[in-house]
Structure 1
Amino acid sequence: MSTSAWTSVPHDSPPRMAASGPAARPRYAPTDFVTLLWRERFLMLLVFVIIVALGFAFATTLKKSYTAQSSLFVRLGQEYVYEPRAGDAGRGAVPTTDEVIQSEAEILGSGALRERVIRKIGFAKIFPQLAGKYAGATPEGKRVLIAEGRDAIGKSLKIETAPDNSIIRLSYQNDDPEMAEKVLNTLLEEYLVYRRSLLIGGDNTVLQRQRDIFSQKLGQADAAYQDFLTSNDIGDFTAQKTSLTQLQASVEQQRYSVEAQLQDRSGRLAVVEAELAKTPTESIIYRDVDMSASVKLAQLKLDREGLLARYTPGAQPVQDINAQIAQLERGLAAGRTGGEGARRSGPNPIWQTLASTRNDLRAEVAALQQSLTAYAQQSQSVNERLLRLAQLEPQFNELSRDRDVLSSNVRDFTVREQQDEAQRQMSAETSDNIRIVQRAVAPSTGKSLKKPVLLLAVMFAGFTALCVGLIRMFLRPGLQTPASASRTLGMPVLATAGVKR
């Protein structure tokens, strides 16, 4: 049976342009590709059908996958506030919101958390196809299977975050919608427990151990402090020093006052003694005056009046008595008739007063001198005690400083230990900064890759069939079309003949 297909005559190699020239390479035009590929249509169709059939067979093995979704709202919590173990450097420093979100996302995606989920739900329930293998495996084999299951959950778990957004979105894909829901919800529950143990810590033994060390050192410091006070006969160093300082000031003030009083009394005593030396010891108390001449003159005047009653003024008796009166008056006027009467003398009261004042001043001066001596002795004693305390003060300050520092450290570590314990207890009961916005629910619809796989299989089959056709076309010997022969040999093709297949 023969066909009338237009073909070139087969030969081993294309004709040469010249005897010494190189072999001519076939030259094709776009229209030649269509013609030549059509000749290979059965081979291309066979390849296409085989690949599509394989892709369809593979797509039929794919199952639907169900994706459960949930979301978390994350805020800055107390566990992210920096609290130094010792000192106050950096206290209260907090990370940014994005840093907190990234930290929580890392915790959600940690392998330890996925392993906790597997152990809580059960490896056989999450991976039923490996249940038999897990049941018969050794402890080491089970550990390997759990590690593989942890990686498998990590591949199916998707965690999404966005900048400047406090929401973390989670999704988990599984062939069973109920298991997808259960795994994701268990992951959230275990995450709330795991993050607390991770961020808060298990106990406060470090703080307690450090507090015990400081307490032991404080006991030693207290013993040294008490030995120092006992050996130096001091009850309260600060109070004793304060009282001695006040006593010194009081003694000095009183001594200055006594010195001023002593100078005043000594000056007054000198003045009194000087006045006493100039004052007589006795003075006249009283004396009498002789009045006989005046009495006699009065009597003579009375007698003259009596004579005048009997005689005339010119009578001799009257003239005699007038002469006596005149003589007596002249004597009184001249003071010839006066004389001293009786008089009495005694101690001078001024001298007595001055002497009494002198004695009082001498007594005051003596008393002030004794007081001044006593105050000087007290001042010297107080100064000696203050100097002794001043010599002991550096040692006392060192002991007090060590004691106060250790006491402050014990108090601070006790407070921090209690605060840390309260914080851990509160954090163990609740996570106020982490809120579950949406819990996972069993998805009602699933997704399958059958259509994408079939589409890719068709596309790959078409591409492969085309490649096979091109390879077959280029591997055929000879010049396949008249136009290609004309372009390759550089001469026209005048006729073509049919061949038998």
Structure 2
Amino acid sequence: MLHGLFRRWDLFVYLNLAILGTILVGSWLWPPSYQASSSIVILGRTYADLLTPAKAAGPSTLIMNPKEEINSEIEIIRSRPVLTRVVQDLHLDKSRTVPDHGISGAIRSGMRVTIRVFRGVFAAIGVTKRYTESQAIEAAVERLHRRLVVEPAIDSQIIWIKYRDPDPELSAKVVNLVAEEYQKQHLAININRGECSFYCEQIDKVQADLKGLQEQLLHTKEKTGIVSFPEQSRAVLKKLETLDNSRTNVQKEIIRVQARVDKIQQLRQARPELLIPLPDLAQEQQLSALEDKYLNLKFQVITVLQRYTPQSRQYLFIQQQIGAIRKQIKDHVSTLLERDLAKLRELQAEEQATDQTIGDMKSQLDQLPIAEMNLGNLERDIDIKQAILSVLLKKYQDSLLAQNTDRRLENAKILSLAAPPLKPVFPILWLNLILGLVFSGVISLSLAFFLEYWDDSLKIPEDVERYLGRSVFASIPEL
């Protein structure tokens, strides 16, 4: 058997060289993979000792079933919300360029471009379909879920998060972002938001009530025109005083004009021959001119009668002129009387309007205490709501501070963040060569063994005696 194996040394050597060469070329062309890792420590939760309060000097630290808690935290790290936020923040669903250097990097870049071109062609002809945005995110989440390694450290409360990627910067970013998003998800699951939610609801309700009261107060002030009640009262009283003085003056003027009209009417009825009932009427310019003409004509009548008879033409002409002047005087007096009557009606209307305005002002003055009380109630309600809102805001801030400083929720802490790795973890050339040497040796020996086992030809003289039972008389040496 050994002789047969030694006879196949060429197969052993060539096969080993082929396998080792393939491994060497594959390791050279295979894209390097960098692994980044970060760690999270799960501390004990702090609880108050409710069973034996007399013995407890303070809160006690306790972990109920640490293995289950570690496994729960691992599932939170690998949960879809955490991975989805990591994919969206780092844009892992988008195509990216992997940094490559050297000849092997150029070859790998060319192969990637070729594969990308073929994928585009296949998608264009309908062999494969293009992902939508949501499908691309889902595929990226699945890839991240497969590549992300989350495992607990042995005999400790530490969880390791590991991720491999051809880009060392990206591998560190993924691991660190997973740890940060895990902390947010951990707080979102464990934090008690009941108190904050209650204060938020109450703040929204009080703010809505306060806004309604402020709008009602503004509408009431615009409707009543009241800015300050003392100033408003003084303004109303001053207006009342002015209106009362104006009404008094109007009433005096009404009395004067009414007395004049009554006297003119009485004199005209009692003495129809009286041309100008009142002496002050004669002061009117036009009436004074007519009176002068009338007196001149009277004087001319006396002169004409001294020279002519009453039946003379001159006397009759003057009498005709006197009659016309008398008619003009009476008509003008009637016009003045109508003017006084119109003025009297105007003064009476003004008096009525003033009385109406005074009545409205007095009603407004009477309503001021009621409006003041209503506005005072609104302002008091607004002050109360503002005080309640201030208290609620303070309570809400205190609850937020209490949440941020709640030690029971600080049991999950990032122990160490990942830095961009300097050396790839795969491929390792020397390890691949050793494994390839072992693998090629096993394969070549196995193949040589099976070839030798299935080879039924006679190779040495002893085989003739062993298998055929014949003696060998001569042998031809190998040339």
Q: TM-score, normalising length from structure 2?
A: 0.43
Structure whose CA Rg is larger: 1
**Greater relative contact order structure (CA < 8 Å, 6+ sep):** 1
